[in-house]
Structure 1
Amino acid sequence: MIKFAICDDEPLMAQELAGHLADYMKENLITAYSVSSFSDGRALLDAIDRFDVIFLDIQMEQPDGMETAKLLRRRGDHSLLVFVTVLKELVFDAFQVEAYDYLLKPLDRARFKQTMERVLRSLDRKTAEDIVIQRGTGCEVVLLSDIVYCEVLGRKIYLHKHDGTVSDYYDKLEDLERRVDGRFFKCHRSFLVNLDYVRGCQDGQVLLAQGERIPASRLRERELTQAL
C-alpha cells in the first residue's frame, strides 16, 4: 500500500493533482494506494498517518510549504517530498529539506509521469523486508510479512505473527511506524495492522484473517475502509 498526500490550499489544484495521480496509477494497473488531501501545512503536520509521498505546495498560509517540510524533517519524517509550485526560483531551497522533486504549475502531464516513474522506483528500493528488534545484548530479525499486527502496551511493543507467536521489545509505536512500510496501517493509537491480513472492518473492530479482532478508532475506521 503506497500512501500519498496532497497538500495545497487551492482546491482545483489539489483535484488536478489527484486526477493525474489516479490516471497514472490506473494506466500502470496499481490499485494498492491511498490519497489523503490537506488544505494547509498545519493539517498535514497534525495528520496521524505517515505518508510515502507528499505533493506539497509552497505558497500557502503559515506554515508555508517550505516551513512545513522543515518541520516534517525535524521530527524524522522521511517521506518523498515533491514540491508543486509556480515559484521556479525556489528550486535550490527545496533541496535543503531533501526534496525529491520539483513540479511547476501549471502541471505538465509528461513531466508528472516522469516524476511518478522515479517515485515508484525509489519506493521499490526503500521497501523493507524485515526489521531487527533489540533485546538487551541480543536481537531478533522479524520479517514484515510475518507480522499480523503490532500492539503497544506500556513501554513495550508486541509483534503478533501469523504463526501465533509474539515477539516483544521496548520501543515506541511511532518509532516502529517509521521502520515499517506502506502495508501497515495505524488503525488505533495503540495498534498497527498489516493490511495483507485484514478481512474487513465493522463496528469499531478490524477483522483479521485468522478470526482475531483488534480495535479501530472511530476516526480511522473510514480511512481503513478506503485503504482496503
Structure 2
Amino acid sequence: MIKFAICDDEPMMVQEISNQLSQYMNGEHITSYCINSFSDGRSLLESGRDFDVIFLDIQMEHLNGMETAKILRQRKNHSLLIFVTVLKECVFDAFEVEAFDYLVKPLDSGHFKRTMNRIIKSIQQREIKSIVVQRGTSCDVILLAEIVYCEVQGRKIYIHQSDGKITDYYDKLDDLEQRIDGRFFRCHRSYLVNIEYVRGCNAGQIMLSQGDKIPVSRLRERDLTQALLRYMKERDF
C-alpha cells in the first residue's frame, strides 16, 4: 500500500493533484494506494500519520509548507516531499529539507508523470534493496536507502544510518562495496558514502545532509563530482 498525502489550502488544487495522481496510478495498474488530504500543515502534523509521499503547498495559513517540511524532518520523517507552489524562487530552499521534487502551478502533466515515475522507482528501491549484517548469533536487515555512510576502523565496519543509529560488525570495506549498489561512492579508502545524502564538498571534506563531514581523498574528488552529476541527471534535476 502506497500512502499519499496532499496538503494544500486550495480545494481545487487538492482535487487536481488527486485526479492526476489517480489517473497515473490507474494507468500504471497500481491499485494498492490511498490518498488523504489536509488543508494546512498543522492538520497534517497533528494527524500523526506516516505517508510514503506528501504533496505539499508552500503558501498556506497557520503553518506554511516549508515550516511543515522542517518539522517533519526534525521528527526523522522520511516521506518523499513534493512541493507544489507558484513560488519558483523557493526551489533552493527545498534542498534544505531534502525535497524529492518541485512542481510549479499550474501543474504540467508531463512533469507530473516524470516525477511519479521517479517516485515509484524510489519506493520500489526502498522496499527491495537491503543488506543483512551478521553480528555474532544475531543479524540486522538494513535498507540501503537508510545508509548515509560507512566507515572502517580496525577490523570493524560502522554503518551510519539516517535515523542516527550506528551498526557495527566485523567485515572488510571491499567486501561490503560488492554488496551495495551504484548510489554508493568510495570517497576514501576507509569510507563509502551514499550519494543521496551528499550536500557539498570543500577542502577535502564531504558535507552530508545530517550535518556530518567525512573525508574525500584528493585523487577521488573529481570522480565524486562526476558521480554527483550522474545522480542529478538520473533524477532529472
Q: Shorter-chain TM-score: what band?
A: 0.5 to 0.7
Residue 89 (str. 1) matches residue 94 (str. 2):
no
| Equivalent in the alignment of 1:55 | 55
8 Å Cα contact 1:130/1:141 also seen in 2: no
Aligned counterparts of 2:91 and 2:129: Cα–Cα separation in 1: 34
Aligned counterparts of 2:131 and 2:4: Cα–Cα separation in 1: 23
| Equivalent in the alignment of 1:112 | 112
| Equivalent in the alignment of 2:210 | none
1:49, CA displacement in angstroms?
Answer: 1.9
Closer, same or farther in 2 for the Cα pair 1:138/1:46, shift >3 Å? Answer: farther
8 Å Cα contact 1:84/1:103 also seen in 2: yes
Aligned counterparts of 1:69 and 1:23: Cα–Cα separation in 2: 26
| Equivalent in the alignment of 1:27 | 27
Spell out the pairing of 1:23-172 with structure 2 (5 A cutoff): 23-128=23-128, 139-140=138-139
Structure 2 counterpart of 1:5, which letter? A
1:84, CA displacement in angstroms?
Answer: 0.1
8 Å Cα contact 1:132/1:139 also seen in 2: no
Greater than 6 Å deviation, 4+ residue runs: 129-135
8 Å Cα contact 1:58/1:65 also seen in 2: yes
Unaligned runs of 5+ in 2: 142-162, 164-237
RMSD, aligned CA: 2.4
SS of equivalent residue, structure 1 residue 56: strand
SS of equivalent residue, structure 1 residue 115: helix
8 Å Cα contact 1:56/1:82 also seen in 2: yes
Structure 2 counterpart of 1:139, which letter? S
Structure 2 counterpart of 1:15, which letter? Q
TM-score calculated relative to the size of structure 2: 0.56
1:134, CA displacement in angstroms?
Answer: 11
Structure 1 counterpart of 2:138, which letter? C
| Equivalent in the alignment of 1:11 | 11
TM-score calculated relative to the size of structure 1: 0.58
Structure scoring higher RCO (CA < 8 A, sep ≥ 6) equals 1
Unaligned runs of 5+ in 1: 143-174, 176-228
Structure 1 counterpart of 2:76, which letter? G
